[in-house]
Amino acid sequence: MTRVCLVTDDWSTEASRASTFIERFRGLRGEPDDAHLLLETSSVHTLGMARSIAIVMIDRDLRVIRTQALMPNRVVYERTARFVLELPKGSELPAVGSRVEIVDV
């Protein structure tokens, strides 16, 4: 996985870009302290996970459309999402409506 930096006017984080099916499926299971940007997806799950995560859903215009904590064994779907950022629970999150810039590191 390659690394990317996600930036808004008042927030930033670094994440691994998960573009293949296996990378997206694995998500934060294997690396619980890292962030993962899932490409071309509108849903995320915590099935089989023992801990909560934080998620940021981003639309095709790179606007944050939803943020939330996601408890274990849950599924979230957002029809207009194109990217999902998975973060460890308690991470700082961008404001809904913020425009995100994604830059290769």
Ordered DSSP codes for 28-92: TSS-TTS-EEEES-SEEE-TT-SS-EEEEEEETTSBEEEEEEE-TT-EEE-TTEEEEEEEETT--
More confident residue, 96 or 21: 96
In this model, does residue 28 exceed pLDDT 70?
no
Cβ contact 62:99 at 8 Å: yes
How many domains does the structure of the chain reveal? 1
State how far the Cα of 14 lies from the Cα of 36, in Å rounded to an integer. Answer: 9
What domain range includes position 41? 2-104
What is the model's pLDDT at position 29? 58
Going by pLDDT thresholds of 50, 70 and 90, the confidence category of residue 32 is: low
One-letter amino acid identity for 8?
T
Q: Please name every residue paired with 37 in a beta bridge, in sequence order, or none if there are none.
A: 17, 85
What is the model's pLDDT at position 53? 93
CATH number of the CATH domain containing 13: 2.60.120.1140
**pLDDT above 70 coverage of the chain, percent:** 90
What is the model's pLDDT at position 25? 66
Going by pLDDT thresholds of 50, 70 and 90, the confidence category of residue 84 is: very high
- Answer whether 0.75 is exceeded by the pTM: yes
State how far the Cα of 20 lies from the Cα of 8, in Å rounded to an integer. Answer: 25
What is the model's pLDDT at position 22? 73
The dihedral over CA atoms of 70, 76, 79, 85, expressed in degrees to the nearest 10, equals 40
10 Å Cβ neighbour count for 9? 10
